[in-house]
Structure 1
């Protein structure tokens, strides 16, 4: 290439941008100068198709695919959408490799050896449908429809892919209910106990804030595009506080990082509220106008010692006073409550305490303040009930299984659900999920899935740990091989998912598979003849004000590809909260009914642990990794090069155990053991270790066939039946 000043500066700019992202974007897909690589540039020429990322991520990027002769060749962000911009995250940039991965399952198969032996033979779809329908019918006849259970979570988050396709089928056969309460629910109930809603203000309004609080949230992992809004606010003088046991990338750049002990947030917030009230730093006018039972909070805080609370949360006095200073000086404080904190035995109570502290500060009802948690304005605006065809179910008494308690439900001798005996499960069909990586207490899960009397069907697009123990394996299409619709829960955008390419091999979309399986069962309901387009129209038929007030209908969304739904702005400016009293409730009847303190419950995680776990020296937290999304993207070689089998330990704890960087270590508790590579760093405090959630056994480079969720608890959190992965204690030693 002939080098001139223009091309030199362009090259330097591109290299600098890539370097600044610390390897977050593969360089081969980030080439910007025409002529740098003619093969790469040629891949950008073709038909453009819009499709939204359907991963469980708050961003929900709107993507633009280039398609040549029926093959996707390039992916980029939809620059016309301010939220996404030109570039998706590191994971989204690999969607071409993801879709055309060499380990795609392209044909149905059935096992021919013992479960887990890896011996399969190819069969036709007709054979597969016949075998599954025949087995399901015999199970229903002998054991009842409650003996059949679905398993899925967020591998496909579309209105059809996640809900409509499968739930029509499982509603029709009256299968066991699966309560998919992995995430958010404990926090939602905690927030609603105070505010009456778990919705919050438009996150994009944080550009007007003068204080941003990131609480239990790693924006770089699951909300990376939001960072640009935070940076805009910072450029105008906004301060940033991160409250997190882990030093996240944002925490490294924050004005203040409160690195508290996991699960002790209520104690820290109680100390802050007590100091504010004792020193007349609370917003009396806001409290008088918009809250109820403030005197109950004052009365409880009189029994609280600030020093004791700080000791329990392991926060120093200097950091405490700096938090109080920044918080009470702020005029517009935006609190981003994350999902990490709610995966604790104390999760719902933590979320409630955050809401109450924000009320003491008077930080609701203005543009630039408020608390954002599980914003469902865009995702919840559609008519999901129609899409799911809930009317097809005729038996609602078949029982429920909580997804976190899978090992308990599959127990062949003493199956339980919600601490009560339940009917045995005789068939499980999983899709959009990998129970051998996602479920806690994985050793028990795999042991039970290997039961010869448990018929297991796996529907996915690549091989993984759960597929190894299936009776029948079916090839699923990726999300890009069908159409759908989606709303973000981190922003207010409703977005289309136009079909990018045809399904590869013999793979089938979720809806094609479940509608054809229904017909193989002999069902003739017209709901199984409907198309994806029919279900998208049903979704858009909702009379939700989030759609109606923004004049959004089917024709408009399909034409414009993305639209921001309506919401009151400023959020809660009218002072009308969704609680029984219509005000923020410092004292909650709901919390009292759940046998917790009705104001602030100061119980600790250890209170819920069994003795053999309570006495172990380390709390293990296992959050998301920037280069993964739960157990996904392991099929992309580039992504697999980013380590997912490490455990981070504080230098003081490492020295006491003779552990050094890159040592192979054994992490263990009464549930099992995992072999990982040690990272010695003050990213965690003493008494805490950090590893990666939902990693796969098969790719552990230690050759141990072990993964993080062999250690995690399957006991439920305090509210909402939510998981409590981060309430797991372990020990660690050099292997």
Structure 2
């Protein structure tokens, strides 16, 4: 019996360090958090605690499959790897020869964030470069906010999250820490024990908001207006840090003018928060150093998401909080780890520039008359049929008979049902990878603990075999996983990580960013950004209102669908124990909204707009404010009544920056379809959507 060090690869800020116990027969028999890790400290989340059981699930894909039914039916027969690779190689070569390499779209998601196997390392990119395939733009998660923050500070990598323990005031802005990234909470509690005041800013009273000292519930998509109102209070008090502003920022006079034109009364009108509450919080920020802002991806998934993040990164520039441990803003730590990605991606293998296709425009792209059209789609680490906006259009695109679709997967997801060829993929305990976390300052090496089951292959090995089947001669296509990891890390760090499993990035403790200047064109924090101006944006951050189409008059409710406590995006939504804990799709409505529609707890309702609809059980609750309904994302369509989830109602539309997604800029209406105490559409008796405990 022995222990193998590894790390969670999933789309979560925490990127937990873990330890796998393997018996003498080579079977993994226990998984636990690594107690030696300074940030994750031995705790895994409710989703990952049962990961080993999940690797052995009866619905695990173990062999290559070929479609024998219509697209969407999910009927397949087992084939050999040779047949699968020969078929794929011939199809991709035909598409390349006939339409050009850009007719191939490698569609990669956040199923793993690894630098060898996953999104961070753009796994397979060397192959796609050799083929001249279209570039995939991963727009579903964080790009709008990342771009907005970058215009201000030159990077979205803000505070070291561990320094929240030093904060005197913590704003948890659009983030549900206890569900998505719970390891930060212990640093928040340290701050609270030292007298810190905790404020949650969220349209719904999440489990995190319920544990805060104060909760503000703005209308969805109005965060920028709230930020401007708070800044107005600070500036009106004369509480800006003038020395810091003079020495470390550019564009303050112009930005100050914009702030003074946005009084708290205006912010109150837009956000739906009492003016007195805005003033009180503004006064608290003005007089409390250091103030730390934790803001994550959910709050920037709307029309003005990029500008909202610009303002949250600008606010500590006004107060001077960026100069203190525990001060500033923390959207992500991505960018602190700087491996050799140039040598990993090998973009030099491209023979000519290629187009970029947006992940969140999948349905639109598959159905439009492009030149060339997308003729081959290779999907890995992604489940777009469940997770992408505008499900009706995505389904229509995936049903195209002239579209050759390969899905590399671990389980028979909704997307798998539309594949022509399905390839079985390894899980994290079965392959080598390099992982970090976008919510801490550590890097990990994940060593394989067990042999893959059945005929599962890692993504990297799949791409190596496909390159061979296509007769490609570029030597770098055949680098093994250890070579890829050493390319990323260098030999010395690889050897160190192989023994220790993790190490802190080379930053002092406590780490305060930007003490030596900002990585912006001016070297200072930029309230006025010429880069933003040159990209066609307002050079100053401001409020961009949620989009209201004329048809939204008939759909007056704002739908928010954050992460489930039991699923991670659509991962684990097929795991029986977590399905039971999650229950089926539900919506929470304020009593006023429910009363106006004749709805009661236990009813089943249709949530709809012009794009589509889904069914959900109703729960009446004051955890949501009037005009807002809350649900959760992640449900597989095949497991719920109606074959649609919340994304059936979400529009394929870009946010203000970088093509970001607008999942939370969504207007709907609700109607009762049945009254039932025992609703077969519910998967179990679960806690409320936004549980307050």
TM bucket (normalised to shorter chain) is over 0.9
Q: Which residue of 1 aligns with 2:672?
A: 734
Note the alpha carbon deviations across 1:139-163, whole angstroms, 9 max, x for none.
1121111111111111011111113
Equivalences for residues 465-484 of structure 1 within 5 A: 465-484=414-433
Q: Which residue of 2 aligns with 1:627?
A: 566
Equivalences for residues 523-672 of structure 1 within 5 A: 523-541=472-490, 553-567=493-507, 570-572=511-513, 574=515, 576-606=517-547, 609-613=548-552, 615-641=554-580, 642-672=582-612
Confirm whether residue 388 of structure 1 aligns to residue 345 of structure 2: yes
Equivalences for residues 226-625 of structure 1 within 5 A: 226-378=184-336, 380-397=337-354, 399-411=355-367, 414-415=368-369, 421-541=370-490, 553-567=493-507, 570-572=511-513, 574=515, 576-606=517-547, 609-613=548-552, 615-625=554-564
Deviation at 1:167, TM superposition (A): 1.4
Note the alpha carbon deviations across 1:474-525, whole angstroms, 9 max, x for none.
1111121111111111000011100011110011111111100110001122
Q: Aligned partners of 2:197 and 2:573: how far apart in 1?
A: 37
- Comparing 162-171 and 341-350, the one that deviates more: 162-171
Note the alpha carbon deviations across 1:362-417, whole angstroms, 9 max, x for none.
21111121211121245x421122222323322323x2110010011100xx34xx
- Comparing 298-307 and 454-463, the one that deviates more: 298-307
Deviation at 1:84, TM superposition (A): 1.7
Is the contact made by 1:66 and 1:74 (CA closer than 8 Å) also made in structure 2?
yes
Secondary structure in structure 2 of the residue aligned to 1:161: coil
Out of 35, 46, 66, which is 2:21 matched to? 66
Is the contact made by 1:213 and 1:336 (CA closer than 8 Å) also made in structure 2?
yes
Is the contact made by 1:244 and 1:257 (CA closer than 8 Å) also made in structure 2?
yes
Q: Aligned partners of 1:164 and 1:719: how far apart in 2?
A: 22
Q: Aligned partners of 2:41 and 2:234: how far apart in 1?
A: 41
Q: Aligned partners of 1:492 and 1:570: how far apart in 2?
A: 10
Q: Aligned partners of 1:643 and 1:329: how far apart in 2?
A: 44
Q: Aligned partners of 1:499 and 1:614: how far apart in 2?
A: 54
Out of 125, 132, 153, which is 2:81 matched to? 125
Confirm whether residue 196 of structure 1 aligns to residue 135 of structure 2: no
Q: Which residue of 2 aligns with 1:110?
A: 66
Deviation at 1:571, TM superposition (A): 2.1
Is the contact made by 2:167 and 2:327 (CA closer than 8 Å) also made in structure 1?
yes
Q: Which residue of 1 aligns with 2:647?
A: 709
Is the contact made by 1:240 and 1:256 (CA closer than 8 Å) also made in structure 2?
yes
Is the contact made by 1:341 and 1:347 (CA closer than 8 Å) also made in structure 2?
yes
Q: Which residue of 1 aligns with 2:630?
A: 690
Secondary structure in structure 2 of the residue aligned to 1:351: helix
5+ residue gaps, structure 1, are: 1-45, 416-420, 543-551
- Comparing 350-359 and 590-599, the one that deviates more: 590-599
Q: Which residue of 2 aligns with 1:722?
A: 660
Out of 32, 43, 55, which is 1:76 matched to? 32
Deviation at 1:47, TM superposition (A): 1.5
Report the CA distance shift for 1:154/1:559 in structure 2 as closer, same or farther (over 3 A): same
Secondary structure in structure 2 of the residue aligned to 1:445: helix
Cα RMSD of the aligned pairs, angstroms, is: 1.7
- Comparing 721-730 and 552-561, the one that deviates more: 552-561
Out of 90, 104, 122, which is 1:134 matched to? 90
Secondary structure in structure 2 of the residue aligned to 1:653: helix
Q: Aligned partners of 2:409 and 2:291: how far apart in 1?
A: 43
Q: How many residues align?
A: 668
Confirm whether residue 149 of structure 1 aligns to residue 89 of structure 2: no
Q: Aligned partners of 1:298 and 1:482: how far apart in 2?
A: 53
Note the alpha carbon deviations across 1:655-700, whole angstroms, 9 max, x for none.
1111111210000011111011112112211111111123210111
Report the CA distance shift for 1:202/1:445 in structure 2 as closer, same or farther (over 3 A): same
Q: Which residue of 2 aligns with 1:29?
A: none
Deviation at 1:724, TM superposition (A): 1.1
Deviation at 1:281, TM superposition (A): 2.3
